[in-house]
Chain A
């Protein structure tokens, strides 16, 4: 067990990271992600308020839809990335990272100015269990009254799972199809055990409980950013390839001006994916070199169990950011060759 944002969490379960990762790609993996924070925003100005604090366009959401977005600083860097769930025009739920929940909560409260909203840090009230993988729908359907085939990607429905009321959301952090179930915190164990049972855990093709290490390798293969690694208060959304959640034309929001200026002027560095082409494994925080000169830093580096390659993401100057560019990684004093590639590294076949 390791401390993760104040939560004791398993790095891996007995099957081990590789098996957990592969099973999620081929059948199903179960993740206890109850550590995620939830901030409830209600009131007639809920949409306007959240729209002013986040970069994506909240007005585009319909009831039952979720959106990937970011809380931004005035300079366009990232306080946190998050999901915005719309229950109703006057009710949103923000799902944020565990390690940043307290910071986000303070930021959100301190930027409330006059809007008619009620804010509640509801993190302790919720558990969140993610069932991910191609078998997720067939495992979950018999346990829920929600018609899962009707829920589109990044949509959700209220309903019950094993008699427990909550919401079922077609979202995830693995690059696979799958669901995230939110319910009352004290029902976590019941849902966890029921989903393991329904997913025939313990059989060769059954669901496997997955730890933090597999969650990280799965999201990395899928080319998704992890807060504190690819994005933080030093990186802007544009540098992080998150221009698609920067709706500069939606009206004013915190950081809009800086992002518009940066877009106009052009970014100097960009987040890229790379594959190691020689023997060695790149790891977080190692230096990236081009022509023997240090030009950047690895934000995440790891073996990719499904792709059977060693991959990573890094910030490099834009002149070196094109696919095909050869780079080298300083792996504990040894320079190891790598090449910039397009992300995502892994894309599921639908």
Chain B
């Protein structure tokens, strides 16, 4: 069973959001990394890039496939996880920790409330895998 931490917010595109003051840390969920398989490449935006909610901000690639990743909330990129360039496998081994992808300065902190809770996301993935 995929790990779904209680204290995070989730999108239906399988990203997670951790709110830290007026910033959000974003990555992909354990369920997503498990479906993708071995991550071999992560393409991320640049600091300063601006994204609206549900916009594509990069991609995650396994040996077999490319998956776009979307910003669940709008904002400006303040920091990226540059270590993923050399160690993309962190997305598999620690999706909620060392496998984080970007930090966004939130444009509209209220957007976070429209995301799924851990329980809702768990139900959503169960329905999707049936």
- Which A residues form the contact surface with B (CB < 8 A)? 11-12, 16-19, 21, 213, 216-217, 279-281, 283, 302-303, 305, 332
CB of B37 within 8 Å of the partner chain: yes
Stretch with Cβ within 8 A of A (4 or more), from B1-9, B11-19, B56-64, B107-115:
B56-64
Does the CB pair A17–B64 fall under 8 Å?
yes
Q: Closest 7 CB pairs between A and B?
A: A17-B63, A213-B64, A18-B38, A303-B40, A16-B38, A16-B37, A303-B63
Does the CB pair A217–B66 fall under 8 Å?
no
In the complex, residue of chain B having the shortest beta-carbon distance to the beta carbon of A11: B64
Bound-state Cα–Cα, A217 to B64, Å: 9
**Once A and B bind, how many residue pairs between them come within 8 Å at the CB atom?**
38
Bound-state Cα–Cα, A321 to B63, Å: 26
Bound-state Cα–Cα, A213 to B62, Å: 10
Assign chain B's interface to a size class: 10 to 19
Bound-state Cα–Cα, A12 to B35, Å: 11
Does the CB pair A283–B66 fall under 8 Å?
yes
Instruction: Pick 5 A–B contacts, CB within 8 A, sort by A.
Output: A16-B38, A17-B62, A17-B63, A280-B41, A303-B63
Does the CB pair A17–B61 fall under 8 Å?
no
Residues of chain B with a CB closer than 8 A to A279's CB? 41, 85
Residues of chain A with a CB closer than 8 A to B63's CB? 17-18, 21, 213, 217, 302-303, 305
Bound-state Cα–Cα, A280 to B58, Å: 12
- Which B residues form the contact surface with A (CB < 8 A)? 37-38, 40-41, 43, 59, 61-64, 66, 85
Does the CB pair A281–B64 fall under 8 Å?
no
Residues of chain A with a CB closer than 8 A to B66's CB? 281, 283, 332
Please give the distance in Å from B32's CB to the nearest CB on chain A. 15
Bound-state Cα–Cα, A280 to B40, Å: 10
Bound-state Cα–Cα, A280 to B61, Å: 10
Q: A281-B41, A332-B66 are in contact. List 10 more A-B contacts (CB 8 A).
A: A12-B37, A16-B38, A17-B38, A18-B63, A216-B64, A281-B66, A302-B64, A303-B40, A303-B63, A305-B63
Bound-state Cα–Cα, A21 to B40, Å: 14
